[in-house]
């Protein structure tokens, strides 16, 4: 199985699939191609939440603001999964979710590509096909151990008693503002103050009236700010990267 993830929208993923289908019989599974454009951190967050649920597979990931530059192409092996991606950290949170620090990173050599603006088609798709079909990554001549790689980690919230300080990591398509504050911080709380404004703590969106604000723990295990059938980012006045202070009342 080869999964595909990108910020390409349409029709570019079809070209990657065409390359893959000419080189391998692997089953192709789309994860998403509407990740926030050129947003490596947001994509890394969502891949961490999605890819570990797959059985062992080759994961082709292309969110690549550095396309056409001298940034490396890499392959990462972790817990039976193999990732093929630009060397910008986009797959590292998913890798660590699967394997902690027990993973191996390799460089993929490439030159004379057809386009400096579409390495998804010309570099990463061929590499993913080769990696999937090879008996071992090290059997591919153009794949060699990496001396270094770009890492990506998420900031950690600070919890001090009844007060937590963090930031908004992502906003999902529903408008839920997802923070880095651990969900356990809400244990036992009925209400909290979010940047000084009171809001109820609820286990489910529909636990409050239609249009009302709430603070809950999302499927990712972090505190998020939401509105029942509305947009939490608008209601709480928050955007990605904004600082948040949550106080138990």
One domain for residues 7 and 87: yes
Residue 75 counted as domain residue: yes
Residue 26 counted as domain residue: yes
Q: Which residues contact 37 (CB under 8 A, 6 or more apart)?
A: 7
Residue 150 counted as domain residue: no
From 88, 75, 11, select the one nearest 44 (Cα to Cα).
88
pLDDT at 249: 86
| CA angle at 149 for the pair 242 and 4, rounded to the nearest 5° | 75
**Residue 75 pairs with which residues in a beta bridge?**
84, 106
DSSP per residue, 146-159? -S------PPPPEE
Q: In the 8-state DSSP scheme, what is residue 117? A: S
**pLDDT by residue, tens only, the chain of 249 residues:** 999 999 999 999 999 999 999 999 999 999 999 999 999 999 999 999 999 999 999 999 999 999 999 999 999 999 999 999 999 999 999 999 999 999 999 999 998 888 999 999 999 999 999 999 999 999 999 999 999 999 999 999 999 999 999 999 999 999 999 999 999 999 999 999 999 999 999 999 999 999 999 999 999 999 999 999 999 999 999 999 999 999 998
- Total domains present in the chain: 2
One domain for residues 106 and 166: no
Residue 151 counted as domain residue: no
One domain for residues 139 and 165: no
Enter the tokens of residue 151.
Answer: 């890492």
Q: Burial of 15 by CB count in 10 Å (0-12 exposed, 13-18 middle, 19+ buried)?
A: middle
Specify whether the CB–CB gap between 168 and 192 falls below 8 A: no
Task: Write out the residue range of the structural domain in which residue 68 sits.
Answer: 2-145
Cα–Cα dist 208/227, whole Å: 9
Residue 153 counted as domain residue: no
One domain for residues 37 and 132: yes
Which CATH number goes with the domain that contains 119? 3.40.50.10790
């Amino acid at each position: 199985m080869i999964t595909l993830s990108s910020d390409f929208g349409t029709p570019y993923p079809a070209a990657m699939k065409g390359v893959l289908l000419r080189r391998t019989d692997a089953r192709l599974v789309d994860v998403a191609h509407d990740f926030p454009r050129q947003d490596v951190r947001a994509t890394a967050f969502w891949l961490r939440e999605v890819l570990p649920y797959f059985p062992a597979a080759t994961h082709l990931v292309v969110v690549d603001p550095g396309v056409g530059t001298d940034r490396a192409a890499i392959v990462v092996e972790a817990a039976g999964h193999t990732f093929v991606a630009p060397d910008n950290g986009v797959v590292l949170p998913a890798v660590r979710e699967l394997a902690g620090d027990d993973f191996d990173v390799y460089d993929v050599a490439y030159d004379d590509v057809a386009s400096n603006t579409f390495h998804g088609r010309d570099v990463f798709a061929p590499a993913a096909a080769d990696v999937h079909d090879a008996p071992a990554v090290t059997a591919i001549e153009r794949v060699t151990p990496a001396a270094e790689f770009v890492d990506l980690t998420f900031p950690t919230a600070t919890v001090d008693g009844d007060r937590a300080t963090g930031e908004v990591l992502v906003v999902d398509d529903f408008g839920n503002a997802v923070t880095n504050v651990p969900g356990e911080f809400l244990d036992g709380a009925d209400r909290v103050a979010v940047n000084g404004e009171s809001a109820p703590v609820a286990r489910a969106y529909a636990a409050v009236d239609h249009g009302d604000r709430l603070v809950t723990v999302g499927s990712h295990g972090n505190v998020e700010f939401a509105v029942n059938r509305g947009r939490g980012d608008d209601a709480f006045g928050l955007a990605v990267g904004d600082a948040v202070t949550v106080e138990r009342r």
